[in-house]
Amino acid sequence: MREYNFYEVEKKWQKIWEEEKILRAGDFPEKKFYVLVMFPYPSGDLHMGHCRNYVIGDVIARKKKMEGYDVLHPFGWDSFGLPAENAAIRRKIHPREWTFKNIEESREDIKKMGILYDWDREIFTCKPDYYKWTQWLFLLLFKRKLAYRKKAFVNFCPSCKTVLANEQIAHGRCERCGKEVTKKELEQWFFKITDYAERLLKDLEKLEGKWPERVIEMQRNWIGKSEGVEIDFIFEENKDIKLKVFTTRADTIYGVTFLTISPENEIIKEIIKNSEYKNEVLRYIERSLKISEIERASILREKTGVFTGKYAIHPFTGEKLPIFVGDYVLAHYGTGIVMGVPGHDQRDFEFARKMNLKIKIVIKPFDSEIGEEIERAYEEYGIMINSGEFTGLDSKNGIEKVCEKLEKMGLGRKSISFRLRDWLISRQRYWGAPIPIIHCENCGIVPVNEKDLPVLLPEKVDYIPKGRSPLETNEEFMNTTCPKCKNKAKRDPDTMDTFVDS
């Protein structure tokens, strides 16, 4: 292949500029332009996708240069993260060595493409002078209570022995190794992105006409706002325990014949405390947590569940509603508990059929009747029937009326639910920016002082995955003093997800 001689072309342009007196870069120092492209992972060789991507930025940078702008067009490497670590483990060489070898090769490829970057401004997210700022950003979010720690069921890849974000799972399998993803309960760090759900949604309006409508719609679905009602179902045995349910269809409340709790929900421990079905429920939960969420949510999968032996009370009729645990209910769907309305929700219908539960019809179509025996749930709006004082109402208006009554009883309130979840950012892996937190027996969770940044990633660590953080094996790294009380304390052994770096 004949190499494209970029310097020859550049010389030709220089001549044209001089002869035609076209404006030159830097002619107007106050005209500044900043072009930033997405940095690549140096996880292997560059491919045509990279080429296509970086040419776009280059075209813009060159055009602006010709227009007399002082152009800043830097480049860098998103060089922490699982791809580098996995490749290093397979080849038994240090992730750093492997990463920088790839960077050298990729940099040469980009230079051959003739793309104009300010190479003296090249950055590496895996170098301390960069990840100091990744850690600084973490501390800022921590101080503003937007970074927090909690015990959570997390997606876990048994083969990579690491926690995965939802975005790192494809069809229930680990994006990296293809093994099926399961669940594990661990203390994790989160960024509280849900605080911004409403603003994210609102600002999508600003992108109309600029982004493809399809992409805006995908973003909207990802945020997944739904307006509805939160209803408290009181536990029969202990009036202090409320099973909170989120629904967009409060008009179907008279059709509730059971409740189903997701297997992850903590409330189950209280419900089954003295139940004769306790062991059966615990076995079911253990099995469920091994099944991927995608599979659990699949409409094609046969519904499964287990009776807890306990009941909740219907807020209007006082009827006893059996409480089940069922894995078709996902922990983060609304409150993780659903009111079973088999007459008007297809998944509840299938569950009720399987478990031989009552099916009540409480909504009928506007222009026809509906029989007692149905073949599938009637999910549309219509006229409320068999619904006490609400019978005869248009079901859309019924939602409002039912909510008013629940509010008066102190058993319900209007509520907004988002599909968007807080961002789980901690990883039990080596090749990432250490989380700048110290765990002290006296003071609890203490942030590292800003002046002590960066918290350096130690060079010598056994990074072969063992299901816990590799940094825990390095005592020199782990043992430190508490910034507050000066007593002996431990560092946080986790590193940050690579998306935090970029």
Pick the piece of the chain touching Zn ion (CB under 5 A) from 75-83, 342-350, 399-407, 436-444: 436-444
How far separated are the first and last CA of the chain, in Å rounded? Answer: 35
> Counting contacts by CB under 5 A, is residue 482 touching Zn ion?
yes
> Counting contacts by CB under 5 A, is residue 107 touching Zn ion?
no
- Which one, 219 or 480, has the nearer CB to Zn ion? 480
Helix, strand or coil, per DSSP, at residue 286: helix
Which of residues 14, 346, 391, 442 is near Zn ion by CB under 5 A? 442
Pick the piece of the chain touching Zn ion (CB under 5 A) from 68-76, 137-145, 311-319, 443-451: 443-451
Pick the piece of the chain touching Zn ion (CB under 5 A) from 109-117, 269-277, 315-323, 479-487: 479-487
Which of residues 443, 478, 480, 502 is near Zn ion by CB under 5 A? 443
Contacts with Zn ion: how many residues (CB under 5 A)? 6
Pick the piece of the chain touching Zn ion (CB under 5 A) from 303-311, 360-368, 397-405, 441-449: 441-449
Rounded to whole angstroms, the Cα distance separating 133 from 82 reads 20
For residue 249, what are its two tokens? 């269809």
Q: Three-class SS string for 149-205? A: EEEEEEEEECCCCEEECHHHEECCEECCCCCECEEEEEEEEEECHHHHHHHHHHHHH
Which of residues 281, 313, 403, 440 is near Zn ion by CB under 5 A? 440
Which of residues 50, 176, 192, 484 is near Zn ion by CB under 5 A? 484
The alpha carbon dihedral of 34, 37, 38, 41 has a sign of negative
- Which one, 97 or 452, has the nearer CB to Zn ion? 452
- Which one, 416 or 485, has the nearer CB to Zn ion? 485
Tell me the CA distances in angstroms from 141 to 14, 119, 145, 148, 443, one per residue in order.
48, 31, 6, 9, 19
> Counting contacts by CB under 5 A, is residue 362 touching Zn ion?
no
The alpha carbon dihedral of 413, 414, 419, 422 has a sign of negative
C-beta of residue 272 within 8 angstroms of C-beta of residue 308: yes
Residues 34 to 73 in contact with Zn ion, rule: CB under 5 A: none
- Which one, 329 or 482, has the nearer CB to Zn ion? 482
Nearest distance in Å: CB 436, Zn ion: 15
For residue 244, what are its two tokens? 């909170």
- Going residue by residue from 387 to 416, which x/- string records binding to Zn ion, judged by CB under 5 A? ------------------------------
| Dihedral of the alpha carbons of 276, 278, 279, 284, in degrees to the nearest 10 | 130
C-beta of residue 110 within 8 angstroms of C-beta of residue 74: no
The contact set with Zn ion (CB under 5 A) reads: 440, 442-443, 482, 484-485
